[in-house]
Structure formats: structure tokens, C-alpha cells
Amino acid sequence: MKLHAIETGLFKLDGGAMFGVVPKSLWSKRIKPDDNNLCTWAMRCLLIEDGDRLILIDTGLGDKQSEKFFSFVKPHGEHNLHTSLQQKGFSADDITDVILTHLHFDHVGGAVSKDGHGKLHPTFKNATYWSHSSHWKWALHPNEREKESFLTENIVPLQEHEQIKFIDQHLFEHPSIDFLIVNGHTESQLIPKITVGEQLLYYCADLLPSVYHIPLAWVMGYDIRPLVTLKEKISLFHQAISENAVLIFEHDATHEACTLRKDERDRVVVDQIIKINDVS
């Protein structure tokens, strides 16, 4: 099995929203905002190459939204989903499975593409897409807090083309991939747990978007249930330290992954910064 970091570009989000109740005087020492209080974040997907399976976790922002939409999140950078796949020697047609951790636009936008006639279709025509049925229903009937993050054009075409399945209703058959289900950021978010040899890895998605979110109280303002996120982080940290697991960051523009340890004050801190390619 080989793991590949698939960089799909950078975007910007408000620093206050990304750090919730944490004062700017604290978080700005770790990540520098621009003059509009926006910070730069990655959209790092994960490609798992294993025999005849080529499994992509999340798909980034995509390129089909309007100029007005992109003016809010300011996508930039030299990478995109397709060129990153090509750099690893693959194309969209090679992907067999797409795991969608959740259906917010920066995680699922690349799952659906628009052709020259404006028609929407799944980007990965030979792939089965995987979600959680509770989250799928949640996304199709969004609450006021999240409705701007769930875009119909990112979701419905997967169902129209009969390419979506749900891990809680269909067996996702892979001996080295399991899932945690977490509910703090959004309903029934998937956190893939991957075994490579003796090494365990967690693709943290929006439970832990960056290394800067390791302090327990540093929870995103976007989370619908921040106290649940806090409990889920504690549980993840306990597992990761006991298993010596690697945590993979989807949104950290500088750090791909890390391991954790407890310091002399019993706080969870970074042990080692890891490159994904060094694991496989």
C-alpha cells in the first residue's frame, strides 16, 4: 500500500471563524492573517494505492463554482486535483473509490464537474462514492448554520448517476480502512483510520484541520456542536498517543501530518512532524 498527498490548492478563510473563541492575539502568533483577517489553508486530499484499488479521500473545492463564490474563499496556488493526480501517475478515470468525509464545499466540490455544455456529472466516472446516510440527509436538508456550505450541485449529481453508497448501509470492503464517526463539526463526519503495515493513521478532516488546532479549546467557530468536538478531540488524542498513530491534516498549508505525546504538564503536544510519503 502507498499513500500520496494530493494537494488541490489553497484557499482563505477568516481566522476568527477557524479558531472560534480563541483570541486573535493568541492564534495570530501561530498563523499570520492578511489585512482582511483571512488565513491561508490547504485542501489536502489523500490517495491510497493498494493493488487494484485506488481510493481518494475528499476532493477539494473543484473549479465549477461562480466567480462570485470564489471571491469569498479566494482559491489560489499552483496545485489542483487533476494535476496532482497526474503528478502521481494517475487520472480521474483510474479512481475506484472516493470517500467523502463530509459534504461541505471545500471537501466535495471536486467530486462533481461541469462539462462544456454546463451539464454536471461525477468527476470520477468509474468510482463508487462513499458517504454516511445520516450526513447525506443532513446535507440535503441543511440547517441555517450550515446551508451555505452544502451546495446542491456538489451532491445531487452523485445520486442521479447512481454512484453514491453509504458506509453504514453497504460494507466498505477494505481490510486496512475503518472509520470513526464524529458529530461535533457536522452530523456524522467520517474520519478514516488507515493501517499501513504496523503504522496507524487518521485522516482528521475537520475534526482537527491543522496542527494549530491541537490545543483542546482551539475549536472552529464553524462547528455545530463545539463541546462535542472537544470530547471527540480528547478521544482521538488518547487513541493516537496509545497507538503511536499519525494524524493527517487536510487544511494545514505547512504541516502534512504529525504524531503526538504528552508533555511534562500532561498537555497533548506535537511529537514529530511527518510527511505522508514517508509513511508508506
Sheet holding 53-57, edge to edge: 2-14, 38-50, 53-57, 97-99, 128-131, 164-166
Q: What class is the 2-278 domain? A: alpha beta
pLDDT, averaged across the chain: 97
Question: CB within 8 A of 52, min separation 6: which ones?
Answer: 96
What pLDDT, on the 0 to 100 scale, is given for residue 117? 87
CA quadruple 153, 7, 274, 49: dihedral positive or negative? positive
pLDDT at residue 260 in the model: 98
Confidence of residue 280 (pLDDT cuts 50, 70, 90): low
Dump strand ranges (E) for the chain. 2-14, 38-50, 53-57, 97-99, 112-114, 120-122, 128-131, 164-166, 177-182, 189-196, 199-203, 246-248, 257-262, 268-274
Contacts of 274 (CB under 8 A, 6+ apart): 246, 256, 257, 258, 259
pLDDT of residue 279: 86
Kindly provide the b/e burial profile for residues 178-216, where b requires at least 16 CB atoms within 10 angstroms of the residue's own CB: ebbebbbbbbbbbbbbbebeebbbbbbbbbbbbbbbbbe
C-beta atoms surrounding 225 within 10 Å = 16
By percentage, how much of the chain surpasses pLDDT 90? 96
Question: How far is residue 163's CA from residue 161's CA, in Å, rounded to a whole number?
Answer: 6
Do 45 and 58 touch, CB atoms closer than 8 A? Answer: yes
- Domain ranges in the chain are 2-278
The reported pLDDT for the residue numbered 170 is 87
Over residues 162-208, the pLDDT tens digits come to 999 999 998 899 999 999 999 999 999 999 999 999 999 999 999 99
178 φ, ψ (degrees, to nearest 5): -130, 180
